[in-house]
Structure 1
Amino acid sequence: MGNIAWLGTQDPFPNPLLYQDPDPSVPGLIAVSERIYPGQLSRAYRAGIFPWYSDNQPVLWWSPNPRMVLKPSQFKCHESLKKTIRQFLYEESADILVDDDFGLVMRSCATARRKDQDGTWITHEIMDAYTELHEQGNAHSIAVIENGNLIGGLYCVAFGGMVFGESMFSHQSDASKLALAALCAWCNQHQVEMIDCQQETDHLKSLGAAPISRDEFLTHLQAALKQSNIEIPWNFNKTILRYWL
């Protein structure tokens, strides 16, 4: 990793448009730092860069090519999910809570068991850094509640008119899809054209996500950052799911 920048406390990130894959043997890796420094996460997202690493590793900062994105207008709300939505809307004990307990949603994402995945990238350092973003109004949680229990949800980051999906979890069938459907409906209502999904998975692809080039993503990001169509605080509940019916 000889050509990859090691960042100190105040060092700026290399521009991914200019410094694409500084080490071709590790495509998408833009920079490395000893830890996540104060303010660094916010600067990273505005540059189209995100952290992804494991415990006992330095912090690895990525800007992959291609980039997986979900355009909310192209979210695939399949008939089976519409049926789940109708049942969820009818159920009095069910609701969607936004930014109600950000830490709990993050911890649930971190501890969720996933196919073909050992451990989690959501380290204690990651939790602290994103909680700080949440307190600044730039990270949000969507919790799916039934009978007072958290059954699924997601957390995301938002700057300007851009939303970055981070992680989802589900303790019950379709629970994370309900959270994503609510987020996509809300994005459509607020003219948010793209949700960053970072990396390609079959699950995201089945819901309408698709890869685009890094250049296209970064160009859209710079335009979206200048928009202010997202109000703070975020405030919606399960009734937003009627958008898909």
Structure 2
Amino acid sequence: MVLTPAQLLKGYAQGVFPMAESAYDTRLHWFDPPLRGILPVGGVHASRSLLRDLRRGGWTAHLDGDFEAVVAACADRDTTWINEPLARLYSQLHRAGRAHALEIRHDGRFAGGIFGVTIGAAFFGESMASARTNGSKMALLWMSSQLARCGFTLFDTQFLTPHLERMGGREIPRAQYRALLADALPRQADLLSAPLPGGDQLWQEITQTS
């Protein structure tokens, strides 16, 4: 199956998403799971230890500084569903302003990141990477906050993992997911419409609302 960026966006808008069997398999397959993973927008759970780490400082977030590098970091693992055709599609969507990557650094070094696709007020989280302890967790905290700041209403994670569940993720039935998706698609939201918060600002935001 050879997909174009337009076909990929159409699939997301219909509630399905593509994956490859492995990085070495050029074929893509559509998935439509009966249960869909989502995270709260502006309400990802942060443990006490994670908040202490954030409070200690050194953490910074950056949007679209190096999109391809974040995607490559997400695919750099023993088992991945991001093959070369998908990576090219994501890059094309990024150049069209429809895919974004949030990079986390600690003391200036790459610590983790997350990337995904946007349509309307829906953010379709594709994958995360972590290069040091709490790297991917910080990416989730910052992304959830940024989505709320910019008017998004749906943070789709496709599947629910134990890691995501500990951060406040949950599974919802396909029909409920599609209702949330239908509500989000016609809304206007732009991930770049507000500046990312600094670490101290993010810490205050989380602790004041928890």
The one-letter amino acid paired with 2:69 is L
Are 1:110 and 2:110 an aligned pair? no
1:38-57 matches, cutoff 5 A: 38-54=5-21, 55-56=24-25
Shift of 1:224: 0.5
Aligned length: 203
Are 1:244 and 2:206 an aligned pair? yes
- Partner secondary structure for residue 39 of structure 1: helix
The one-letter amino acid paired with 2:18 is P
Shift of 1:233: 5.7
Which has a greater percent of helix? 2
Shift of 1:241: 1.9
Shift of 1:74: 3.8
Are the aligned partners of 1:159 and 1:225 in contact in 2 as well (CA < 8 Å)? yes
Shift of 1:208: 0.5
1:1-245 matches, cutoff 5 A: 34-54=1-21, 55-56=24-25, 58-88=27-57, 91=58, 94-112=59-77, 118-230=78-190, 232=192, 235-239=195-199, 241-242=202-203, 243-245=205-207
CA RMSD of aligned residues (A): 1.8
Structure 2, gaps ≥5 residues long:
none
Identity in percent = 28
Instruction: Say if 1:206 and 1:166 are closer, same or farther in 2 by CA, change over 3 A.
Output: same
Q: Distance in 2 between matches of 1:231 and 1:201?
A: 25
Shift of 1:126: 0.9
Are the aligned partners of 2:154 and 2:184 in contact in 1 as well (CA < 8 Å)? no
Instruction: Say if 1:80 and 1:38 are closer, same or farther in 2 by CA, change over 3 A.
Output: closer
TM (norm. structure 1) is 0.77
Shift of 1:188: 2.3
Instruction: Say if 1:134 and 1:222 are closer, same or farther in 2 by CA, change over 3 A.
Output: same
Shift of 1:237: 4.8
Greater relative CO (CA pairs within 8 A, separation 6+): 2
Q: Distance in 1 between matches of 2:147 and 2:16?
A: 21
Q: Distance in 1 between matches of 2:140 and 2:49?
A: 15
Shift of 1:147: 3.6
Shift of 1:190: 3.0
Q: Distance in 2 between matches of 1:173 and 1:230?
A: 30
Instruction: Say if 1:38 and 1:73 are closer, same or farther in 2 by CA, change over 3 A.
Output: closer
- Partner secondary structure for residue 121 of structure 1: coil
Are the aligned partners of 1:98 and 1:234 in contact in 2 as well (CA < 8 Å)? no
The one-letter amino acid paired with 1:108 is A
* Larger Rg over CA atoms: 1
The one-letter amino acid paired with 2:14 is A
- CA offsets 1:65-92 (integer angstroms, 9 cap, x no match): 111111124411111111111123xx3x
The one-letter amino acid paired with 2:119 is F
